[in-house]
Amino acid sequence: MRFFAATTAVTTVVATIFLSSLTSVTGQTVVDIIGLDPRLTRLYSLIVSTPGMVNTLKTLEDITIFAPTDRAFRTIPNNVNWTPEQVTQMLQYHVIPGRAYREAELTNGLQLRTSLEGQSLTFQVNATGYFVNRFSQIVQPNMIASNGIIHKIGDTPLLPPTLRNAELTVTPTPRPLPPTPVPVTSRPTLAPTPRPTPRPTTPRPTSGPGSLGNILDVTASLDGFSTLVDLILLTGLDTALAAMPHATLLAPTDDAFASLDPSFLQALTTPPYRFHLQEILRYHSFDMMFRGPNLLESLSILGPTGLFLSSMNTAHDRVQFQSPNGRSLNLNNGSANVVIADVSASNGVIHAVDAVLLPRCVQDTISTTVQNDRRDLSTFNTWLNEARLKGLLNRDGPYTVFAPINEAFNEFSTGTPSVDDMIEILTYHVVQGMYPSTLIEDGMELTTVLGSTIRFRVTEMGVIMNDSVRIEMSDTVAGNGIIHKVGGILWPFRISV
Ligand SMILES: *[C@@H]1O[C@H](CO)[C@@H](O)[C@H](O)[C@H]1NC(C)=O
Ligand SMILES: *[C@@H]1O[C@H](CO)[C@@H](O)[C@H](O)[C@H]1NC(C)=O
Ligand SMILES: *[C@@H]1O[C@H](CO)[C@@H](O)[C@H](O)[C@H]1NC(C)=O
């Protein structure tokens, strides 16, 4: 039974269009886009406080900017004082002039000259992802602006050699920060905000933010969100949500869950679909906080396209936030509407939504998912094409696919087997049914589509199939099944290559 694949993967198509023509639909320059991004506030304030920087960045054509997130900037101690020249150098070191490089064009070992005289950045690309100077991973690639492209980097800002060796002035005494003003949201902006009922329990020793529960507590205290709360508890996402200092949760109402296909909802609560549920819930969670007034203001500047924000699911699938009239907020082209905005919790904010959003990863079929994973599965994809097996993996399934990663095919450097042999090899890597890693037990045997079985050993080294091939990365979900990436190829017969 296939629940997810019904909707087409609009987001893929759109992303491709965006990338093929480097024109920002909104006409926003790199500076505008950085300024509107709730995760890039530190970078933006450095840019605007550096004389001439805004102008330079707005007038340069076709640039690539690596934009450290606010979180990345937290690795720089608060009491470090950069001189204006040091800030300028640091910013220049994040800019590649002359060409807008898409993430896919960054190759392992590539070095690119920055606009800081004589300094280059080096790139590392591997199974973990794309890294700049080894320590800063690209966390959100390919944000297109009218005059270039922005890749958000996490972990830490890029420091030119001159700034690396503690040539930083440290202020003698940490300057006490003025008390952060609490944003006043007296004016209801979207819909009336229900106040979480004040707890009539024993008075707490402290007042202020401490008296507010965390995101999940507050959600649970509201009427009409019990399905969501139950599902969150089922996947253990509550721990992750509680650990985040600034989070946003889009909370589908009980009615929203009730309007899903009942068999789909039922399946989601069962162990085989645990990872699918997790991806869906994480698609509603954001590791940053954004609330009505600012968000609406930004969205009204951005126009109908709105803003795409990376969710916390594995693929960081993005949710599109739009406000066509500057007053109401909707998501993914009206797939969901915010019905109650800006409910505060101690560690973030909750917006109630009237529909469950389904991320691309639970809508795409296995065929599409494999095809999109050029980094690890491009050879597997080529083989599936040659063996004409893509259609099989578009069917309802569900299927569990043990997909050999590109390196696994190295033994075929001298030539590929015949199509008939390919079909046998490939169908030996596909099992009917949904088997996430959590359901694969030591000693278990599964019958493949080819007919013969695979035996699993669960060891300290990981899960090994037929004592020879290891699961390198488990549980990539797809609409019609689940994919485990494996480090070798299982041979269902002896062939000579
Ligand atoms: C990929 O490269 C980064 C940066 O060099 C490194 O931290 C990470 O461990 C590497 N991952 C793998 C799987 O090699
Ligand atoms: C909504 O539609 C617009 C225009 O077709 C497109 O650019 C955008 O990516 C769509 N959003 C989603 C989430 O599919
Ligand atoms: C893998 O193990 C199963 C169970 O022992 C066995 O039936 C099958 O033939 C093995 N496959 C290969 C390719 O050795």
Tokens standing for 126?
């591997």
Ligand closest to 124 (CA) is: 1
User: Can you list the positions of beta strands (E) in 295-422?
Assistant: 307-310, 318-322, 330-331, 336-345, 348-353, 399-404
pLDDT(191) > 50: no
Q: Which of 26, 305, 323, 361 to mutate to test the pocket of ligand 2 (most atoms within 8 A of CB)?
A: 305
Point out the ligand 1 atom lying closest to the alpha carbon of residue 129. Answer: 1
493 lines ligand 3 (CB under 6 A): no
Ligand 1 centroid–CA 180 distance in Å is 38
Residue with the bigger pLDDT between 80 and 96: it is: 96
Report the pLDDT averaged over residues 305-315. 83
pLDDT band at 79; cut points 50, 70, 90: low
Whose structure tokens read 């972990």? 155
Q: Which of 426, 429, 454 to mutate to test the pocket of ligand 3 (most atoms within 8 A of CB)?
A: 454
Report the pLDDT averaged over residues 406-422. 85
Report the pLDDT averaged over residues 165-180. 36
Cβ-based neighbours of 386, under 8 Å, separated by 6 or more? 416, 419, 422
Ligand 1 neighbours by CB, cut-off 6 Å:
124, 126-128, 131, 134
Ligand 2 neighbours by CB, cut-off 6 Å:
10-11, 14, 305, 320, 332-333
Point out the ligand 1 atom lying closest to the alpha carbon of residue 135. Answer: 4
CA 269 to chain centre: 23
What integer pLDDT is reported at residue 410 of this predicted model?
A: 86
What integer pLDDT is reported at residue 291 of this predicted model?
A: 76
150 lines ligand 3 (CB under 6 A): no
Ligand 2 centroid–CA 337 distance in Å is 15
Q: Please name the residue whose Cα sits nearest to atom 7 of ligand 3.
A: 453
What integer pLDDT is reported at residue 494 of this predicted model?
A: 53
| Cβ-count burial 417-432 (b if 16+ within 10 Å, e if not) | beeebbbbbbbbbbbe
What integer pLDDT is reported at residue 188 of this predicted model?
A: 33
Residue with the bigger pLDDT between 384 and 169: it is: 384
CA distance 427 to 221: 50
pLDDT(112) > 60: yes
Q: Mean pLDDT across the chain, nearest whole number?
A: 81
Sign of CA dihedral 69, 70, 75, 79: positive
Express each pLDDT in 219-233 by its tens digit. Answer: 999 999 999 999 999
CA distance 477 to 3: 13
Ligand 3 centroid–CA 379 distance in Å is 24
CA distance 309 to 39: 10
Ligand closest to 129 (CA) is: 1
pLDDT band at 315; cut points 50, 70, 90: confident
466 lines ligand 3 (CB under 6 A): yes
Q: Please name the residue whose Cα sits nearest to atom 11 of ligand 2.
A: 332
426 lines ligand 3 (CB under 6 A): no
Express each pLDDT in 14-52 by its tens digit. Answer: 322 232 233 344 568 899 889 888 889 889 888 888 887
Residue with the bigger pLDDT between 91 and 167: it is: 91
